[in-house]
Amino acid sequence: MSAPKNTFKAALREGRFQLGLWAALGSAYAAEILATSGYDWLLIDGEHGPNDVPLMGAQLGALRHTPTHAMVRPPMGEAWILKQLLDQGAQTFLIPMVESAEQARALVRALRYPPHGIRGVGAGLGRASDFNRVADYVTTANDEICLIVQVENRAGLAAIDEIAAVEGVDGVFIGPSDLAADMGHLGNPGAPEVLAAITHAFSRIKAHGKARGIMTVSLPQAAVYRDLGADFMAIGTDVNCLVAAVGDLRRQFLGEAAPAARGGGY
């Protein structure tokens, strides 16, 4: 028996658009609800969500038998945390603040067993190998890893061609909020200059045959990104969905008008 098939990676290779949602509540129970709501993928956010390794592992467990694929984002692309997430069954990784091809190559190696990388052998202890029941796990695991690097500042943009060309990088995700901040538009990811930079980045990523990813909490902005050619996109977060739903419920009961939508969003 082999490592589980990475359905998200397969879909990107076949050119099937993948619709996603951000999970930042740090709850396996909430993640299970999100994962049974029809999205193709869910980002378990350890960069900004209150998530540590066991909590991300619990959410990976909650998603295990659902149709929604789990993507995990550690706070940083450090080999030690990638190793723990791998053994808990994560196969698709979103790594923040990648600025160079050298950094991308180190990530490719951290996620793979020798001779292609430096991943330590211990998955028999974890969910990744179904607790040592998947006989061929270690010899098949490398093929099912999906690495998405996040480019979200001017340094990363300047190196976009070199980063996208790295073998083992499956996709490049543009972080619009951080990119906007680095470009002098803090809090305004929809600024025209930022959109122009994203348009350019998407064309370079596509030229290297890699998938283009992005996120937003604004539906009009999502339509813009889709028209630009996004191959996978998160269109909201559990936090903003919850805030909107509880506010609307209360206002509807009281007959109050909805507040004006806030521009941008992050």
Ligand X SMILES: O=C(O)C(=O)C[C@H](O)[C@@H](O)CO
Show the binding pattern over residues 145-174: x = contacts ligand X (CB under 6 A), - = does not: -------x----------------------
Classify residue 48 as exposed, middle or buried by CB count within 10 Å of its CB (0-12, 13-18, 19+): middle
The residue ranges of DSSP E strands in 66-162, in sequence order, are 69-73, 92-95, 146-151
**Minimum CB distance to ligand X smaller for 38 or for 187:** 187
d(CA 46, CA 72): 7
* 49 contributes a contact to ligand X by CB under 6 A: no
Written as one letter, the residue type at 259 is P
Q: Counting contacts by CB under 6 A, is residue 99 touching ligand X?
A: no
93 touching ligand X, by CB under 6 A: no
Host H or E run for residue 247: helix 238-254
**Per-residue mark of binding to ligand X, 21-40 (x: CB under 6 A):** -x------------------
Give me 186's structure tokens: 């803090």
In the chain, the largest separation of any two C-alpha atoms, in whole Å, equals 64
Binding residues among 171-210 for ligand X as defined by CB under 6 A: 175-178
> For ligand X, which residue has the nearest CB?
175
**Does the active-site annotation cover 48?**
yes
Catalytic-labelled residue, pool 48, 185, 200, 208? 48
Residues 219-238 that bind ligand X (CB under 6 A): 237
Give the side-chain half-sphere CA count within 13 A for 250. 7
Q: Where in the sequence numbering do the catalytic residues fall?
A: 48
Which residue ranges make up the site for ligand X (CB under 6 A)? 22, 48, 152, 175-178, 215, 237, 266
